[in-house]
Amino acid sequence: MSDVTIKVNDNGPLRITGKVEMVDALGNRFETKESFILCRCGLSSQKPFCDLTHKGKFESAPRA
């Protein structure tokens, strides 16, 4: 099993838990903690991170 978990929250962000390195398209590193959330709705003013702007404005509940 992996040391990293990515949880797809219903109607919300992706929660990343574990030690990961996150980089942009140019290879620049984002500073992250061992648990953080990434925006899925596109409404966040802190992209790629979630600022909870999605509440009540985004619906998605995919299942694996």
What are 20-34's pLDDT values in tens digits?
999 999 999 999 999
d(CA 12, CA 41): 7
Closest-CA residue to 36 (of 14, 8, 55, 52): 14
pLDDT at 1: 64
Domain range summary for the chain, segments of one domain joined by +: 1-64
- 11 and 59 in contact (C-beta within 8 Å)? yes
- Residues 22-27: contacts with CB under 8 Å, at least 24 apart: 22/48
Specify the pTM.
0.89
